[in-house]
Amino acid sequence: MDQITDHSKFERKPLSEPAARPRRWRAAAISAAIALGLFLAYLGFAPHKANQAAAVPAPALPVTVSQPLHRDVDTRVGFLGQFSAIDKVELRAQVGGTLTEIDFKDGQIVHKGDLLFVIDPRPYEIKLEQAQAALQTATARVALAGNQLSRAQSLKRNDFATQETVDQRTNDQDASQAAVEDAKARVRDAELDLEYCHVRAPFTGRIGARQVSIGSLVAGSRAATSPTTLLTTLVSLDPLYLDFDMSESDFLTFSRERARLKGPLANKVLIGLSDENSFSREGTLDFIDNALDRSSGTIHARATVPNPDLFLAPGQFARLRVAIAPPTPAYLLPDAAVVLDQSQRLVMTVTSDGTVKPKIVTTGELRGGLRVIQSGLDASDRVVIDGLVRAIPGTKVTPQDGAIHYDATADGQG
C-alpha cells in the first residue's frame, strides 16, 4: 500500500555553466552598489568634516607694540628758503685800455687782494711821470716865489721897494704854493689810474666766468659817467644769507614768544638741504623786514649761515625750521604707525586681552625721525609699531614688545 517514494527524482543536479554565470553577475552588481553607497555617504560626510576643520579658530598673529616715547620738544615752524651771497659785485674796468693779463680760472676761489686782470699800464705810467714832473716844476716856482718875496720885504724895510711890490711877491708865492698842491693832486690821480690798471679781488669768494679775453679793448671810467666794460662777477661764500618769507600768523606767534622769552631760542635756525633728510646745519635769524607784503601777507626774514667748507652756493634752496615756542611734553611714535583714515589719523593699540583697538590722534611735525602726537594717546597705551597690516580692529593679536628710537641727527641735534 505504501508507496515507495523515489527520491532520485528530487536529487539536485549540478548546474550547468550557462545557468551559474547570471548568479555571479548579480552578486558582483550587489557588491558594486554597496561600494557606491559607501562612497556617496563618504562624500556627504566629507564637507561636514571640512566645515568642522574651518570652524577651528586660527592662532593670533604676532605684532610689535611699544608705549609712546615721551620727550620734551619745542614748537617749530618750517619754511623754504634760498641762499644768497652777503657780498656780490660786478667787476668793471675803471680805466680804459688793452687787456694784457687774466690771472684766474673761471669759477675758482679767490682771496681778497688777488690779482685778477691787468690793463696795459704804460699810458698811465706816462701820465704819472708827467704829473710828477709838473709837481717838480710847481715846487721850483714856490722856491723862486719865496726868494722874491724875501728880497721885496728887505727892500721895503730900506724904502727901496713899495708895498705894492711886496704884495705882488706874496701873491706869487701863494699862487705857486697852490700850483704845488694841484700838481700833487694830479700825481695822486695818475697813481690811482695806474693802480686801477691792476684789477684785484675786493673780498674772498668765488669768481664767475670772465667776460673778456686778453687783447680786448675795455672801456673804463671811475665816475661811471660812460659805459664801462664788465669783466666778471664775484660773490662771497662764507657766511651766506638764507632768505625766506614768514606768514602773518607765524610771525605773530614768533614775535610773541620771542618777546616773552628774551633769549636766543627764537634766533636759532635749523637747516637741511634738498637732498638731506636731516637738519644738520644751523644758522642765526638776524633780520626781519619792517613791513608785511600786502599782496602776499608775508614778511621777509633772513638768517646768516656759516659756510666754512664753501659747500653751499648762492641760489640753492634749503628747508629750515625756526623754533617759536619753548619745549613742552609730547608723545612720539614712528610715522609708519600712524594710519590716515579719510580726514582722521589713527593708531592701533592692543588692550590687555590682546584685542586691537584703534585710537584717533592729533599729529604734529616730525622730530628725531618720529611723529609728534599732540593728543589722543595715554602713556600706558601699547601702540602697534610693526605688523600693522595684521592689526585689524577687533581681532586678537599676540603682542611682542618693541622699542622706539629717537634719532637726534635727523632733528639737527646730532
Highest mean pLDDT among 65-74, 123-132, 274-283, 385-394: 123-132
- Tell me the pLDDT tens digit for each residue of 362-373: 888 777 788 888
pLDDT for 6 beyond 70: no
Residue 407 in contact with residue 274, Cβ under 8 Å? no
More confident residue, 36 or 168: 168
Please report the pLDDT score of residue 159 as a whole number. 67
pLDDT for 183 beyond 70: yes
Nearest-CA neighbor of 62 among 404, 401, 403, 380? 401
> Per mean pLDDT, which range of 32-36, 72-76, 238-242 is the poorest?
32-36
- Tell me the pLDDT tens digit for each residue of 196-251: 999 999 999 999 999 999 998 998 887 766 688 899 999 999 899 999 998 888 88
Nearest-CA neighbor of 373 among 334, 412, 401, 405? 334
- Mean pLDDT (whole number) for 385-399: 86
Please report the pLDDT score of residue 53 as a whole number. 47
Q: How far apart are CA 122 and CA 119, in angstroms?
A: 9
More confident residue, 187 or 325: 187
Domains of the chain, CATH where assigned: 63-72+329-411 (2.40.420.20), 76-85+239-326 (2.40.30.170), 95-120+197-235 (2.40.50.100), 121-196 (1.10.287)
Please, which residues have CB within 8 angstroms of residue 120's CB and are 6 or more apart in sequence? 97, 98, 99, 100, 197
pLDDT for 384 beyond 80: yes
- Tell me the pLDDT tens digit for each residue of 38-62: 454 455 544 545 454 445 566 778 8
CA-CA-CA-CA torsion sign (126, 128, 134, 135): negative
- Mean pLDDT (whole number) for 63-69: 88
Cell numbers for 129: 711821470
pLDDT for 265 beyond 90: no
- State percent of the chain over pLDDT 70: 74
Cell numbers for 357: 583697538
- State percent of the chain over pLDDT 90: 21
Please report the pLDDT score of residue 266 as a whole number. 60
Q: How far apart are CA 324 and CA 327, in angstroms?
A: 10
Mean pLDDT of the chain: 79
Secondary structure string (H, E, C) spanning the chain = CCCCCCHHHCCCCCCCHHHHHHHHHHHHHHHHHHHHHHHHHHHHHHHHHHHHHHCCCCCCEEEEEECCEEEEEEEEEEEEEEEEECCEEEEECCCCEEEEEECCCCCCEECCCCEEEEECCHHHHHHHHHHHHHHHHHHHHHHHHHHHHHHHHHHHHCCCCCHHHHHHHHHHHHHHHHHHHHHHHHHHHHHHHHHHCEEECCCCEEECCCCCCCCCEECCCCCCCCCCCEEEEEECCCCEEEEEEEEHHHHHHHHHHHHHHCCCHHHEEEEEECCCCCCCEEEEEEEECCCCECCCCEEEEEEEECCCCCCCCCCCEEEEEEEEEEEEEEEEEEHHHCEEECCEEEEEEECCCCEEEEEEEEEEEEECCEEEEEECCCCCCCEEEECHHHCCCCCEEEEEECCCCCCHHHHCCC
Please, which residues have CB within 8 angstroms of residue 75's CB and are 6 or more apart in sequence? 323, 324, 325, 328
